[in-house]
Amino acid sequence: MSDKLKQDINEASKIFILTDENVAPFWLPETEYGLGCKAIDIVLKSGEQHKNLQSVQRIWKTLMKYHADRNALIINLGGGVITDLGGFAASTYKRGIRFINIPTTLLAMVDAAIGGKTGIDFGGGKNQIGTFAEAEDVLIHPDYLITLPQRELLSGLAEMLKYGFIADPELLQVNLENCKQFILRCGDIKREIVEKDPIEKGLRKILNFGHTLGHAIESHCLTTDRPLLHGEAVALGMGAALWLSEMKFGLDAAVLQHFENQLKMLLSETEISLSEADVEPILNYLVHDKKNNDDKPQFVLLEAVGKPIWDVEVAPKWVEEALLYIINKVC
Ligand SMILES: NC(=O)c1ccc[n+]([C@@H]2O[C@H](COP(=O)([O-])OP(=O)(O)OC[C@H]3O[C@@H](n4cnc5c(N)ncnc54)[C@H](O)[C@@H]3O)[C@@H](O)[C@H]2O)c1
């Protein structure tokens, strides 16, 4: 435990640990013991469908019930849903109290728990309501991954590959066997980018590589009986973005060819049932993406591996083609 973490815990007037029903039985007592603190536990239902206002209200109500003041501390113990939700609840309660993230999924360790974006889904769209608020501390402990299902590990691997495409080609070699050794590297890349552009005026947008279509696919699939995990949807979005990069910027065709094999691995624990009929609803979600400029979807594309370009407007016809390409590839 870092000195900063010890200090945060010692200085807190009350400590709340926010987690979900899957993480709690494995890790709640152990974490509380490890931190050496007595906390009030808030255990939420798991899953993206609970990253909503009702869950935030439940957190706020518990904070009020226990008279949490502005020196209270929330420890978010879980995946990206918990770190997004807990960060949002903390940053809005009494105009903001401190929080610490202890990510327990690979995806949260390399991405969601770092960088200060918090939020909830609202009105049918992903992350529509949120704040920029930095965690006081992010405690990364790969041991938490021991209990994480393989499908969730693969979802995190997709986000690790994203860093390979936008920043460090070495990360394109990441796989289930070697992923733990690259966790800190991914976090460092994200921190470097966020430090240069904390509120996403420019450079930070490259972290959205694969996310423009990925979020739209994820939002659409959440309304079906076959929801996709965040990383799975991002993997599809990255496939489409690589295809568009090849078409628009002459990205070396070998990059997409190599990724097509990785895509099979990333999606090996799920069954994708997308067809041409899904194209229109996915494109509708795309138009409502909050990162759009004037309702025009903005893409991050690559000139080459490690050379991303952001704010690329792509004609709807090309977006549709890219979507059809990826749907035909995986279904
Ligand atoms: N804020 C950001 O910058 C950012 C970046 C990327 C993703 N996100 C968000 O992160 C979310 C996805 O995060 P996620 O993939 O971690 O999903 P998640 O939080 O839903 O966790 C995945 C599943 O694994 C379970 N779980 C978590 N840790 C476990 C463990 N150690 N052992 C066993 N089970 C465990 C959870 O209960 C859940 O069922 C999305 O909502 C996405 O929008 C945010």
What string of pLDDT tens digits covers the 331 residues of the chain?
788 888 999 999 999 999 999 999 999 999 999 999 899 999 999 999 999 999 999 999 999 999 999 999 999 999 999 999 999 999 999 999 999 999 999 999 999 999 999 999 999 888 999 999 999 999 999 999 999 999 999 999 999 999 999 999 999 999 999 999 999 999 999 999 999 999 999 999 999 999 999 999 999 998 999 999 999 999 999 999 999 999 999 999 999 999 999 999 999 999 998 999 999 999 999 987 656 666 678 999 999 999 999 999 999 999 999 999 999 999 8
Same-domain check for residues 173 and 228: yes
Same-domain check for residues 45 and 169: no
Q: Is 68 in the pocket of ligand 1 (CB under 6 A)?
A: no
Same-domain check for residues 178 and 85: no
Same-domain check for residues 126 and 194: no
Same-domain check for residues 128 and 66: yes
Same-domain check for residues 209 and 320: yes
Same-domain check for residues 210 and 97: no
CA distance 258 to 266: 13
Q: Is 160 in the pocket of ligand 1 (CB under 6 A)?
A: no
Residue of 26, 27, 48, 84 to test ligand 1 pocket, by largest number of atoms within 8 Å of CB: 84
Per-residue confidence (pLDDT) for residue 294, from 0 to 100: 62
Count of domains in the chain?
A: 2
Residue of 20, 21, 28, 81 to test ligand 1 pocket, by largest number of atoms within 8 Å of CB: 81
Same-domain check for residues 109 and 191: no
Q: Is 91 in the pocket of ligand 1 (CB under 6 A)?
A: no
User: Rounded to whole angstroms, what are the CA distances from 155 to 17, 189, 228, 265?
Assistant: 25, 19, 10, 10
Same-domain check for residues 319 and 174: yes
Q: Is 200 in the pocket of ligand 1 (CB under 6 A)?
A: no
> Residue 76 corresponds to which amino acid?
N
Same-domain check for residues 42 and 94: yes
Per-residue confidence (pLDDT) for residue 124, from 0 to 100: 83
**Alpha carbon of 40 to ligand 1 centroid (Å):** 22
**Alpha carbon of 112 to ligand 1 centroid (Å):** 8
The domain in which residue 20 lies consists of: 3-146
| CATH number of the CATH domain containing 198 | 1.20.1090.10
User: Rounded to whole angstroms, what are the CA distances from 245 to 102, 238, 302, 310?
Assistant: 35, 10, 5, 11
Q: Is 134 in the pocket of ligand 1 (CB under 6 A)?
A: no
| CATH number of the CATH domain containing 57 | 3.40.50.1970
Residue of 152, 159, 160 to test ligand 1 pocket, by largest number of atoms within 8 Å of CB: 152
Same-domain check for residues 93 and 135: yes
Q: Is 122 in the pocket of ligand 1 (CB under 6 A)?
A: no
Packing angle of the helix pair 253-266, 150-166 (nearest 10 deg): 160
Of 112, 146, 180, the domain-final residue = 146
**What pTM value is reported for the model?**
0.95
Nearest CA to ligand 1 atom 44: 112
CA distance 214 to 330: 14
Q: Is 101 in the pocket of ligand 1 (CB under 6 A)?
A: no
Taking a C-beta distance cutoff of 8 angstroms, is the pair 322, 246 a contact? no
Per-residue confidence (pLDDT) for residue 125, from 0 to 100: 82
Nearest CA to ligand 1 atom 10: 80
- Torsion angle of C-alpha atoms 154, 127, 88, 198, degrees rounded to 10: 80
Q: Is 17 in the pocket of ligand 1 (CB under 6 A)?
A: no
Same-domain check for residues 195 and 314: yes
Of 146, 169, 189, the domain-final residue = 146
Q: Is 218 in the pocket of ligand 1 (CB under 6 A)?
A: no
Q: Is 115 in the pocket of ligand 1 (CB under 6 A)?
A: yes
Per-residue confidence (pLDDT) for residue 295, from 0 to 100: 65
Of 146, 164, 182, the domain-final residue = 146
